[in-house]
Structure 1
Amino acid sequence: MSSRRTAKASRAIREVVSKAILFEMNDPRVKDVTVLDVEVAPDMRSAKVYVSIMGNPKAQDLTLHGLNSARGFLQRRIADEIDTRYTPILTFVNDDSVKKSIQASQILQQLAEEREAAEREASGEVGDESTPEDDSEQSTEDTTDETSDD
């Protein structure tokens, strides 16, 4: 089978599985799931469904177990929606790349904030250390000048 056809089947399966999980499944274990990608074998007999599951590891395991329990239902939905010779057997894989990218973004944000704080601190030491005192003296002088004019 051509890679173009496999890619097309992967997109179609991802769409069907995503919609079925979101709108048709009533399993309380299956929540906060995002279907990221589907890899279909060249013979179309199997497919790996990569999902992102939010929550703690226990909740992720429970959700993955719920997805595996609903495998037959999801395969039937694929068979109903997509006209192929074989309906692929689904295997669900928890892909934590989204979590890792969020953690990396948070670390980068924290480093940027620390760098900005260090730069502000360094510029405060080198530049105007007496500025806050001068400002308070100026404001006092301004008020005394204003009161004397009256």
Structure 2
Amino acid sequence: MSKHRPNRLAETLKEEISQMILVELKDPRIGFVTVTSVDVANDLAHAKVYVSVMGNEEETKASLDALNRAAGFIRSEIGKRIRLRHAPAIVFVNDPSIQHGAHIAKLLRDVGAADTADEDESHE
């Protein structure tokens, strides 16, 4: 099977699931969630949705739990919106890349602040 179809489906799923999380899911446990990517199996039967959740570890776990509980609803809505014979089974997985990037940026800012403080002390 061509690799183009799973990639196209992954992009479509990313857009549709992002929209559904933003507009249709009313679960208060779902915090600020961003769909970062979607991997679809070659047989189109399974989709792994990577999400980034802003918040602490407890909020992340609660949001992922709520999303995985809503996966059946999301799958049925995907089946209605996208013309597929079978909608893929959906699993939500935490993608820590945004938090990791924010941590690296903070470390770089701290190093930059320490460098400017060292320069100020050496000029005095």
1:40–1:48 Cα contact (<8 Å) kept: yes
Query: Which residue in the other structure is 2:31 paired with?
Result: 31
Structure with more relative contact order (C-alpha pairs < 8 Å, separation 6 or more): 2
Partner of 2:99: 99
Deviations 1:87-120 (A, max 9, x none): 1000110111110100100000110111111112
Q: Which structure 1 residue ranges, 4+ long, deviate > 4 Å from structure 2?
A: none
Alignment check: 8 A CA contact 2:31 2:59 kept: no
Aligned counterpart, 1:57: 57
**How far apart, CA to CA, are the structure 2 residues paired with 1:3 and 1:53?**
29
Structure number with the higher helix fraction is: 1
Give the gaps of 5 or more residues in structure 2.
Answer: none
Q: Which has the larger radius of gyration?
A: 1
Separation in 1 of the partners of 2:3 and 2:102?
A: 31
Secondary structure of the residue aligned to 2:90 is strand
CA contact (8 A) 1:16 1:77 kept: no
Q: Please, which runs of 5 or more residues in structure 1 have no aligned partner?
A: 125-150
Q: CA deviation at 1:123?
A: 2.4
Rounded to whole Å, the distance in 1 between the matches of 2:61 and 2:116 is 40
Q: Give the paired residue count.
A: 124
Normalising by the residue count of structure 1, what TM-score does the alignment of the two structures yield?
A: 0.79
1:5-64 deviations in Å (ceiling 9; x for gaps)? 211100000111000000001111112111110000000000000000111111111111
SS in 2 for 1:87: coil
Larger fraction in strand:
2
Q: 1:30 corresponds to which letter in structure 2?
A: I
TM-score by length of 2: 0.95
